[in-house]
Amino acid sequence: MNRLQRLLIILLTIATGALFLYSAYTKLFPTIQSFEYTMVEFTHIPLLYAKIAARFFIGLEATLGALMVLHFFGKNNWVLKSAFALLVFFSLFLIYLWIKAGDNVNCGCFGDAIWMRPSVSLVKNIIMLGIIGLLIRKARGFNFRFADIVPLLLLAGTFVTIYLVFPVYEVYKMSLKPIYADARWAPATDLTTGKHIVAFLSPSCMHCRKAALKMHNMMLKDPAIPFFMILGGVESDLTDFWKETQARNISYTRLKREEFLNYTHGIFPQIFWLNNSMVEENTGYPELDQKLVEKWMK
C-alpha cells in the first residue's frame, strides 16, 4: 500500500473503533438500566441475567473499540475478528427483533441517545462488517515484543472495572409485612403484587423532598407510574412537606421510626423498584428518569 492508502486504513480503523466506543458509552450512560430493560423486554430473560449480560457486552464492545483506536489487534488479528463476530451476533439479534417486534421499535444499539429501527441498524452493521473485513486484510497494528499482551490486559481490566463500578445486585424479595402492621396506616395499595416504585422518605430531609417533587412532576406527565411513598415517623407535621413537594398526587403511608430505619439503615431517600415484592433496583432520586421508568413498567 502507498502512504495515502495506509493513512486511509488508519483513519478507518480509528473511526470504527470510535463507533464501538460510542455505542458502549450510550448503553452505559446516563444509566445502564435502560439497556438492561431493553434486553428483558425483547428477550424475556430474568433481570439478573440481563444485568450480567449487559455489562459483558458493554465491556467487550468498549474494549474492542479502544483496541482498534489504539491499533492493538492481538495475535492473528483476534481483536478485529472478535469485533466482526460481535457484529454478526448483534445482527442476528436485530433480525430476531425485527421478526418478533416489528420495525417500529428502538433496537437499543445506541441506547436512548439515538433512536434506531432494527432495519436501519442492520444496514449499519452490514456496512461495518464490510469495513472490518477490509481491516482484517489490510490493517497493521503495533508489533513490538509485548504488543500481544496489551489486548488481554485491557480486556481483563475493563471487565473488572465495569463489574466493580457498576456492580450487579442480586434481585431479592422484600418483606412488606411491617408496612401493613399498623391498621391506621396500612396502605390501600397492594404493594406485594405487580410493579411499584416505593420511595422511603424522611419528611424533614431536603433530598427526600427533592425526590418527592421529582416523582410528582413525573406523575403529571404519566399518571400511570406506580409511585408510592413511605414517610418515616407518624407524628411529624407534613404541612411544609406537602407545600414544598406538591406530592399529594402520590399515594403514601407512614411508618414508625424503628421500622423505617430497618428498611433504610439511616440512609435516605431510598427508592425500591418492586416487581411482585422482588427488589429489582435500589436507587436514589437522580436515577429516576421518565423514559427509564416507563420502559421498566412494560
Name the residue ranges covered by the structural domains of the chain.
3-165, 172-297
**What confidence category does residue 159 fall into, taking pLDDT thresholds of 50, 70 and 90?**
very high
DSSP conformation letters of 216-231: HHHHHH-TTS-EEEEE
Cβ-based burial of 42 (10 A; exposed 0-12, middle 13-18, buried ≥19): middle
Q: Is residue 198 over pLDDT 80?
A: yes
Amino acid at 23: S
Q: Is residue 63 over pLDDT 80?
A: yes
**pLDDT confidence of residue 183:** 82
- Pairing mode of beta strands 195-201, 270-275: antiparallel
Average pLDDT over residues 178-197: 91
Q: What percent of the chain has pLDDT over 70?
A: 100
- Pairing mode of beta strands 251-255, 227-232: parallel
**pLDDT confidence of residue 146:** 86
Grid cell at residue 236: 411529624
- Give the residue ranges of DSSP H helices in the chain: 3-28, 33-43, 47-70, 78-101, 118-138, 149-165, 177-180, 206-221, 239-245, 257-264, 290-297
Averaged pLDDT of the chain: 93
**pLDDT confidence of residue 219:** 95
**pLDDT confidence of residue 234:** 86
Average pLDDT over residues 158-179: 91
Q: Is residue 218 over pLDDT 80?
A: yes
Average pLDDT over residues 218-243: 94
Contact 128, 22 (CB under 8 A): no
Q: pTM value?
A: 0.82
Strand 278-283: give its sheet, edge to edge. Answer: 172-173, 278-283, 270-275, 195-201, 227-232, 251-255
**pLDDT confidence of residue 170:** 81
Q: What percent of the chain has pLDDT over 90?
A: 77
- Predicted confidence (pLDDT) per residue in 114-125, tens digit: 999 999 999 999
Q: Does domain 172-297 have CATH number 3.30.413.10?
A: no
**What confidence category does residue 67 fall into, taking pLDDT thresholds of 50, 70 and 90?**
very high
* DSSP reduced 3-state for 74: coil
- Predicted confidence (pLDDT) per residue in 4-27, tens digit: 899 999 999 999 999 999 999 999
Distance CA 75, CA 147 (A): 9
Distance CA 61, CA 155 (A): 10
**pLDDT confidence of residue 284:** 87
